[in-house]
Structure 1
Amino acid sequence: MPEANVRHRPAVAMALSLLFAGLGQLYNRRYVKGILFIIIEASFLLTFYNFLNIGLWGLVTLGEIPMLDHSIFLLIQGLVSVIIIAFAAALHIANIIDARNDARRRQRGEPFPSLWESCRNAWDKGFPYIFVTPGLVMLLFIVVLPLLFMVSLAFTDYNLYHSPPRHLLNWVGFENFKNLVSIPIWKSTFFSVLAWTIVWTVVATTMQIALGLFLALLVNDPRIKFKRFIRTVLILPWAVPSFVTILVFAAMFNDKFGAINREVLSLFGVSVPWMTDPFWTKVALILIQTWLGFPFVFALFTGVLQSISRDWYEAADIDGATRWQKFKSITLPHVLYATAPLLIMQYAGNFNNFNIIYLFNHGGPAVRGQNAGGTDILISWVYDLTFTTNNYNMAAAISLIIGLIVSGFAIYQFRRTRSFKEEGNI
């Protein structure tokens, strides 16, 4: 067993490992491990030095010579370089920690495990991380990298008039966000679209939840017969692909030949401009979303209602509770407790519900003084800015705002939900 060496300094081992991986292990007389760390770091530097050098330069400058430097490619290479450096930094920190731990063992005179024992311990302790790492790497390059790219574009001037490779991009800081609230046309459009997005999310989602709950309560009533048949009929709208339903409703709400105006409202001498008046288009969209969304909520609530013990209602009857009191004190709390996360997802999903807005009327009709349609929500406006007017920078800025709103709302609501606070106590 080695003797204690109080003169052996862990700080020196850490400093040497910080300077270059493996030097701290050599200082600790862990020669095989130190040589392996040196080979790994040297191989990394030789392999990635040029890629990282160009990537970081491109990330800072976004190119210097038009038609030769492509700002988008340089930006992507720079972001990949940042991810690779983050991985390398994590491994380098692990190397420093390992050198410190070995130095402390040597200082106390504790024996070092053999190379085989070290590998076996690393396998036993790191088994979950080894199998998670491939998925994590894939997640970084499939999900995180596009998000970083979108966030980066929000701080550039990438639009139709600054499009690579003919022109180079420039970092503009928060100018795009300032333009959203300062330039009249952007300001008017942004706040109008944001207000409608919030109204659309709250009203449409609340109506589909309320209708689903109402129908679930009716069907769950013991006096109702043919429950299976009624449930099947009410779930049928969910079975039809939503884009087919939206296109059918778009034809039915058509001002000129739609069945609603010609066959229904004509009986009362009324003709509503469903497609040409923004107000009535919004009404139609909310009604359609209610129709599309209530079957899922109905099925969800039906399952929860059947799980409520009848003993609770019998005890409430003995106490003389009314129907409303039983609903308020037993049914509603239990339903919300069990389904709150899914209901929050309904709100978040409708906030970014692109399909119905685009398929029904392409976000129209047009509105004077705005560069968005009268029923465009933020996500459909982002689509138009990207694929119609090529305002990639503004689209990225608005997308970043959307992400912050949805994630902030979801996190706040999830943390306040009793099903998360008291998980397992139901």
Structure 2
Amino acid sequence: MSKQKMRHRPTVAIILSILFAGLGQLYNRRYVKGILFIVIEAVFLITFYNFLNIGLWGLITLGEIPMVDHSIFLLIQGLVSVIIIAFAAVLYYFNIIDARKDALRLQRGEPFPSLLESCGNVWDKGFPYVFVTPGLIMLLFVVVLPLLFMVSLAFTDYNLYNSPPRHLLHWVGFKNFKNLVSVPIWQDTFFSVFAWTIVWTIVATTLQIALGLFLAILVNDPRIKFKRFIRTVLILPWAVPAFVTILVFAAMFNDKFGAINRDILSAFGVMIPWMTDPFWTKVALILIQTWLGFPFVFALFTGVLQSISRDWYEAAEMDGATRWQKFRSITLPHVLYATAPLLIMQYAGNFNNFNIIYLFNDGGPAVRGQNAGGTDILISWVYDLTFTTNNYNMAAAISIIIGLIVSGFALYQFRRTRSFKEEGNI
């Protein structure tokens, strides 16, 4: 190995690449690649310097002069700047790694591939990334940017009485989260709505799963005739758009002219305040959700039950097992093993089931001393805070809590299911 090759240091190439993209490649005598990196960084700095400078300044200060600086626009520009910088940092990292690899190759005396060979290698190895990158960029600006914007609002004082451009926003840290558990009106409302959200999620989802499982087992019984007709009828509620069903039920449960009170309960001298009493409104919502949700669970369980071998039940009968023992030891474990992830999604979906709460009674009836309705769940409360009272900061704070709860619950349950643990081993 020549002394010149031994004196070639990868550390110098790395330092030069850190100072300015492409310098490390020039040090490695990879002139075309080095010039290309230099041009890319120069164009990036010339094009985005002012945008990034204003964006980062706006992200930190949220503006300094009312009616001139718009805090929301500055916040969005700052978040876009962060995404652009993150994307540029990834490319810069690959520039450094490339310089280090070329320097090590030169130090070992290995020949460099020609320009055509390099282009061919880049195309072969980078082909998937070329087609993934446009989708990734769109994902960043369509999904990640709105999420970052929402999270950022949770740490500002953005509300109806402090809106740009007349007023400037300010970073307030965790003040909004503290207000949820310390300020009386927010505290009472938050814990009341949160408790009802948990009850709603558990009771409504469990009832629809239990009803779907019961009907699936019943229809799957060999003694039942006309199975196709019965299954078709039971799946019909799923075929009707949910919002149509909810509006129909809202009319049926109406206190004054609804069919349930006027035509059914009136025969027994009973008139239930379905729309004006929070307790009975909650009961009605749970019943409606059970009706809306059981067809999907029924169809899901029906398919799983048909895959269970009859030999297992015959062997259990020969051992003297009762119906309950066969259900507990054969049917239920098999059904839950095959459907656990989808059932978890049912719970997560009902936790954020905005449609039924909004369409049935708009989260009502009103509750004294609270700024949420008697049947509002967290997601419908966020909607009211955003579009009715314009408490954007509190709505963003609650949205973060919702996201953490749903993602944490789903991750925990997925990791505990056998279907997750044994994935790839079946």
| Superposed pair shares fold, TM > 0.5 | yes
**Structure 1 residues 184-195: aligned runs within 5 Å:** 184-195=184-195
Is the Cα–Cα contact under 8 Å of residues 278 and 374 in structure 1 kept in the other structure? yes
Can you list the C-alpha shifts for 1:30-68, whole angstroms capped at 9, x where unaligned? 111101100000001001111111100110011111111
Q: How far apart in 2 are the matches of 1:120 and 1:405? A: 48
What is the match of residue 372 of structure 2? 372
What is the match of residue 297 of structure 2? 297
What is the match of residue 15 of structure 1? 15
What is the match of residue 344 of structure 1? 344
Letter in 2 for 1:230: I
Q: How far apart in 2 are the matches of 1:113 and 1:321? A: 73
Q: How far apart in 2 are the matches of 1:23 and 1:414? A: 48
**Structure 1 residues 24-423: aligned runs within 5 Å:** 24-423=24-423
- Give the superposition deviation at 1:2: 7.9
Is the Cα–Cα contact under 8 Å of residues 2 and 110 in structure 1 kept in the other structure? no
- Give the superposition deviation at 1:26: 0.6
Between the two proteins, the alignment pairs up a number of residues equal to: 426
Can you list the C-alpha shifts for 1:120-156, whole angstroms capped at 9, x where unaligned? 1111111111111111111110000000000000000
SS at match of 1:156: coil
Task: Report sequence identity in percent.
Answer: 88
Can you list the C-alpha shifts for 1:373-397, whole angstroms capped at 9, x where unaligned? 0000000000000000000000000
Q: How far apart in 2 are the matches of 1:292 and 1:49? A: 54
SS at match of 1:369: coil
SS at match of 2:244: helix
Is the Cα–Cα contact under 8 Å of residues 4 and 108 in structure 1 kept in the other structure? no
Q: How far apart in 1 are the matches of 2:36 and 2:165? A: 43
Letter in 2 for 1:97: I
Letter in 2 for 1:160: L
CA RMSD of aligned residues (A): 1.1
Can you list the C-alpha shifts for 1:199-244, whole angstroms capped at 9, x where unaligned? 0000000000000000000000000000000000000000111001
| Change beyond 3 A, Cα 1:2–1:330 | farther
Q: How far apart in 2 are the matches of 1:195 and 1:4? A: 73
| Change beyond 3 A, Cα 1:364–1:339 | same
| Change beyond 3 A, Cα 1:335–1:4 | farther
When the two structures are superposed, what TM-score results if normalisation uses the length of structure 1?
A: 0.99
| Change beyond 3 A, Cα 1:106–1:278 | same
Q: How far apart in 2 are the matches of 1:118 and 1:326? A: 65
Letter in 2 for 1:419: S
Q: How far apart in 2 are the matches of 1:8 and 1:22? A: 17
Q: How far apart in 2 are the matches of 1:181 and 1:313? A: 54
SS at match of 2:7: coil
| Change beyond 3 A, Cα 1:217–1:42 | same
Structure 2 gaps of 5+ residues are: none
Q: How far apart in 1 are the matches of 2:105 and 2:327? A: 66
Q: How far apart in 2 are the matches of 1:176 and 1:262? A: 46
Q: How far apart in 1 are the matches of 2:263 and 2:424? A: 54
- Give the 4+ runs in structure 1 shifted more than 3 A: 1-4
Can you list the C-alpha shifts for 1:83-140, whole angstroms capped at 9, x where unaligned? 0000000000000000000110111111111111111111111111111111111111
Q: How far apart in 1 are the matches of 2:101 and 2:134? A: 28
Can you list the C-alpha shifts for 1:345-398, whole angstroms capped at 9, x where unaligned? 000000000000000000000001100000000000000000000000000000
Q: 119-128 vs 402-411, which deviates more?
A: 119-128
Q: How far apart in 2 are the matches of 1:13 and 1:52? A: 28
Is the Cα–Cα contact under 8 Å of residues 3 and 109 in structure 1 kept in the other structure? no
When the two structures are superposed, what TM-score results if normalisation uses the length of structure 2?
A: 0.99
Q: How far apart in 1 are the matches of 2:127 and 2:415? A: 32
Letter in 1 for 2:331: T
Letter in 2 for 1:256: K
- Give the superposition deviation at 1:3: 7.7
Q: How far apart in 1 are the matches of 2:312 and 2:395? A: 53
- Give the superposition deviation at 1:405: 0.4
Is the Cα–Cα contact under 8 Å of residues 4 and 106 in structure 1 kept in the other structure? no
Letter in 1 for 2:294: F
Is the Cα–Cα contact under 8 Å of residues 4 and 110 in structure 1 kept in the other structure? no
Q: How far apart in 2 are the matches of 1:135 and 1:312? A: 48
Letter in 2 for 1:24: G
- Give the superposition deviation at 1:311: 1.3
Q: How far apart in 2 are the matches of 1:294 and 1:6? A: 73
- Give the superposition deviation at 1:424: 4.3
Letter in 1 for 2:216: A
Is the Cα–Cα contact under 8 Å of residues 4 and 109 in structure 1 kept in the other structure? no
Is the Cα–Cα contact under 8 Å of residues 194 and 377 in structure 1 kept in the other structure? yes
| Change beyond 3 A, Cα 1:413–1:150 | same
Q: How far apart in 2 are the matches of 1:3 and 1:318? A: 85
